[in-house]
Amino acid sequence: MSFPAYPQYKDSGIDGIGQIPSEWEVARMDSRCETSRELLQPQSFNDQQVFHYSIPVIQENGDGAVEDGAEISSGKLEVVKPCVLVSKLNPRKETICRAYPQSITTLASSEMVPLYPRDAEIGFIEYITRSTPFKTRLMSMVESATKSHQRVNPEAIHKARWAFPSLEEQRAIAAFLERETAKIDAAVAAQERLIALLAEKRAATISHAVTKGLDPDAPMKDSGIEWLGQIPAHWEAKRLRFLCKIETGDGDTQDAVEDGEYPFFVRSPNIETINRYSFDCEAVMTSGDGAGVGKIYHHFAGKFTAHQRVYVFHGFDGIRPRLVYHYFKSYFARVTLQGTAKSTVESLRRPLLADFWVVVPAVSEQKAVLEYCDGIDQKYDAAIGRCQDGIRLLKERRAALISAAVTGKIDVRGEVDAQEQEAA
């Protein structure tokens, strides 16, 4: 869908925004919003109270559930009236939210910069802070050299110059963006659900292949392992320690170098590089602790280095390493993590790994099973990749739409009027 431009434009004098509608006014953010941190009151609370924590503080409800991936702030400040909260930490992550403290106590991380609209619409302020030009400006003003802990001075947010239409028009733009971004978000959510279903289907298909084989008429026997059930009568179940060597790497994350000569497998899906190697073999690897436990697996043949908390399985005897890779992805997490120190940091201990049961297909069938599993992987990777491309395009459209609306590159007033007439 295309949208019309405004009838007349003028130069905003603001880098990254350029031309703005002739009736819009350029002003600093703190001329339209209160920015005093005194409006965030330091508080102490007991563990029995129920809170809504504004991102990026951990979020928990009455039964103690914690949001995955949330960050724990060193300070908690109570939000006393509606505002937009913008994180001064790592602006590239776009950690922004609207806070409406009403029936529930709302706490904000001390890393959040509050913007209390005074002569502005709260939704319009939020979409400004989510726009690409605003985020780009903050990223250019970070004061830390380390990528993971970049901070921007709150004054860069307070004093940011922007173009503001009338309050009525701000409300119209915010309403338009609420409606359109909701549509895009729904489409993204649908693609994400499809990805989850595809991943589930892939896992089930490969799980069946590596434990039941490809011949539906093959005689079966009880494996003697409760979670494994029956396996082909001519296959075996062996503990991992009888199939390979189990070691850990000797590298640290800081050892990684850009464009290094050898792969460096760390505790994340990303493969770093390094200028030395500790292994020269075909191996399967998995993270030994942290958030990657049970989620990250690698298969590689050649010279490489691994992190000191990455387990390296190599020297396989009687089974193809890549079959173990497929088997791990299917069964490792759901079986092994039941015995980890999950109440603190998820971690894997060597004895627990050594005792892990692996189904070993007959040597004469391993090639066919492996080729089948690789084919399933490729098929579902392609399907998931198409979904991920769709999500990327949807998010790009969302970002472009927000930026165009809050900088006046498109005139959405007619869209809002048409929507209101339709609703009436």
Residue-wise pLDDT for 38-56, tens only, equals 555 544 444 434 344 443 3
Amino acid, single-letter form, for residue 259: D
Token readout for 363 is 């040597």
According to DSSP, residue 289 is labeled B
According to DSSP, residue 54 is labeled E
Distance in angstroms (rounded) separating the CA atoms of residues 17 and 136:
11
3-state secondary structure of 126: helix
Position 65 confidence tier, pLDDT thresholds 50, 70, 90: very low
Spatial contact of 67 and 97, defined as CB atoms under 8 Å apart: no
* First-to-final CA distance of the chain: 23
Spatial contact of 134 and 82, defined as CB atoms under 8 Å apart: no
Instruction: Report whether pLDDT(186) > 50.
Output: yes
Residue 219 pLDDT = 97
Higher pLDDT, 110 or 379: 379
Name the percent of the chain lying above pLDDT 70.
83
Instruction: Report whether pLDDT(11) > 80.
Output: yes
Element (H, E) at 228: none
Q: Do domains 14-164 and 195-381 have the same CATH topology?
A: yes
Cβ neighbours of residue 117 closer than 8 Å, sequence gap 6 or more: 32, 33, 82, 83, 84, 125
User: Domain segments of the chain: what residues?
Assistant: 14-164, 195-381
Question: Which segments of 51-166 does DSSP mark as H helices, in order?
Answer: 122-130, 132-139, 154-158
Instruction: Report whether pLDDT(290) > 80.
Output: no
For 330-389, write each residue's pLDDT tens digit.
888 777 666 444 433 456 788 888 999 999 999 999 999 999 999 999 999 999 999 999
Instruction: Report whether pLDDT(18) > 60.
Output: yes
What is the fold, at CATH topology level, of the domain defined by 14-164? Adenine-n6-DNA-methyltransferase TaqI; Chain A, domain 2 (3.90.220)
Distance in angstroms (rounded) separating the CA atoms of residues 192 and 186:
10
Residue 148 pLDDT = 58
pTM, two decimals, is 0.79
CATH code for the structural domain at 195-381: 3.90.220.20
For 291-311, write each residue's pLDDT tens digit.
778 788 999 999 999 999 999
Where is mean pLDDT largest: 32-36, 63-67, 346-350, 354-358?
354-358
Residue 414 pLDDT = 84
Position 95 confidence tier, pLDDT thresholds 50, 70, 90: confident
Element (H, E) at 161: strand 161-164
Question: Which segments of 255-362 does DSSP mark as H helices, in order?
Answer: 321-336, 350-354
